């Protein structure tokens, strides 16, 4: 039997069969589905599934941290559109070998993240799995319709910005695979992989500013996630290698692992920083607003251009990097 193709092809096929509604604001193709609920208000819905052996490895992923991550990556999708998370559903397919202590610690981590963001768990499902544990989370959020930021709004001439450092989670995963998950020298990177933090406050500030044209979270890597924005917006992008924010610890880890820190940043994924576009004139006012409201720095890493695809400028040369991040079924 022929394989259905990569993740993007599968999603495209599903998208062709999707229905429509007068209340639907955003359907398949963004971080969340969005629908109208009241005058000037909208609800956001996102769901994500994590499979043992694909998304997590119990040899180094503590159950408490896994619970936190399962909640955080879904809340991050709400943040990516500028929304406020409100409710969650949790479905678990667990193997017979999964013990009660593991489940208690998982739920403690999951509940801790919900509490930090005032999210209420309202339901879900539990079933037995034959071989691997499977975690599926749905999060519902809300916001003012006028503040919604999707992937579709990038404009030619916009600058491309990111929050935080990139490549940290990919470095952490590489270190875990080398048996260094508990090495104190690498804990910031390991934690970036095991326990990401959803940037809800930043997403709310960016949405309320009215200055951001397009946005999503960095779940699959800069190359792939920027390509998503470009595809939805009908534009291209150029990224400048020297402008990508890399931490000193990441560079040290890359040297230790004989890896490229730039490759981790471009292709690694799971950083859950925010990626967005604004006009050149609004970069400084927006950076000042973020520093004033919540602190932290933003980095300009590229620009939106005519055409299609994402290109990396490095040492005077340009090469296409579209969709060089993680993709299922490839």
According to the model, what pLDDT value does residue 263 have? Answer: 96
For 143, list phi and psi in degrees, rounded to 5. -175, 170
In this structure, what are the phi and psi dihedrals at residue 246, rounded to the nearest 5 degrees?
A: -120, 130
Instruction: Give the span between the Cα atoms of 140 and 138, in whole angstroms.
Output: 7
| CATH 3.30.1330.10, the chain: domain bounds | 7-147
- Confidence (pLDDT) at 330: 47
With 0-12 / 13-18 / 19 or more C-beta atoms within 10 angstroms meaning exposed / middle / buried, residue 40 is exposed
pLDDT per residue rounded down to tens, the chain (330 residues): 445 556 666 556 655 555 565 667 776 666 667 877 777 899 999 999 999 999 999 999 999 999 999 999 999 999 999 999 999 999 999 999 998 999 999 999 999 999 999 998 988 888 889 889 999 999 999 999 999 999 999 999 999 999 999 999 999 999 999 999 999 999 999 999 999 999 999 999 999 999 999 999 999 999 999 999 999 999 999 999 999 999 999 999 999 999 999 999 999 999 999 999 999 999 999 999 999 999 999 999 999 999 999 999 998 899 999 877 544 434
Amino acid 21: pLDDT: 57
Sheet holding 84-94: strands in order across?
A: 24-26, 33-38, 41-51, 134-144, 84-94, 120-128
Beta bridge partners of 84: 142
CATH class for the region spanning 7-147: alpha beta
Helix, coil or strand: residue 186? helix
List every span in the chain annotated with CATH 3.90.650.10: 159-320
pLDDT score recorded for residue 2: 46
**Class for domain 159-320, per CATH?**
alpha beta
Closest C-alpha among 156, 159, 161 to residue 306: 156
Residue the block writes with tokens 């044209």: 213
- Whether pTM > 0.85 for this model: the answer is yes
Distance CA 31, CA 29 (A): 7
| CA–CA distances in Å: residue 96 to residues 50, 62, 123, 130 | 18, 18, 22, 8
């Amino acid at each position: 039997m022929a394989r259905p193709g990569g993740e993007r092809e599968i999603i495209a096929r599903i998208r062709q069969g999707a229905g429509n509604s007068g209340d639907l604001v955003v359907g398949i193709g963004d971080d969340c589905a969005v629908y109208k609920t009241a005058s000037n208000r909208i609800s956001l819905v996102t769901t994500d599934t994590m499979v043992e052996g694909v998304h997590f490895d119990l040899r180094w992923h503590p159950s408490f941290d896994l619970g936190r991550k399962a909640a955080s990556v879904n809340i991050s999708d709400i943040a990516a559109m500028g929304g406020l998370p409100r409710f969650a559903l949790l479905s678990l397919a667990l193997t017979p070998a999964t013990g009660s202590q593991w489940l208690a610690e998982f739920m403690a981590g999951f509940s801790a993240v919900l509490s930090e963001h005032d999210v209420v768990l309202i339901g879900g499902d539990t079933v037995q799995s034959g071989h691997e544990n499977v975690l599926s989370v749905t999060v519902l959020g809300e916001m003012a319709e006028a503040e919604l930021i999707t992937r579709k709004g990038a404009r030619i001439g916009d600058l491309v910005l990111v929050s935080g450092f990139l490549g940290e989670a990919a470095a952490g995963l590489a270190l875990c695979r080398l048996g260094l998950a508990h090495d104190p020298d690498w804990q910031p990177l390991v934690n970036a992989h095991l326990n990401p933090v959803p940037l809800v406050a930043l997403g709310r500030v960016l949405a309320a500013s009215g200055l951001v044209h397009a946005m999503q979270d960095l779940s699959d890597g800069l190359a792939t996630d920027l390509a998503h924005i470009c595809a939805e917006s009908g534009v291209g992008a150029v990224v400048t290698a020297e402008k990508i924010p890399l931490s000193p610890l990441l560079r040290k880890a890359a040297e230790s692992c004989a890896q490229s820190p730039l490759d981790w940043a471009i292709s690694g994924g799971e950083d859950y920083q925010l990626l967005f576009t604004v006009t050149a004139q609004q970069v400084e006012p927006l950076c000042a607003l973020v520093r004033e409201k919540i602190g932290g720095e933003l980095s300009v890493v590229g620009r939106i251009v005519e055409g299609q695809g994402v290109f990396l400028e490095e040492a005077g040369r340009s090469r296409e990097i579209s969709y060089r991040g993680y993709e299922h079924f490839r």
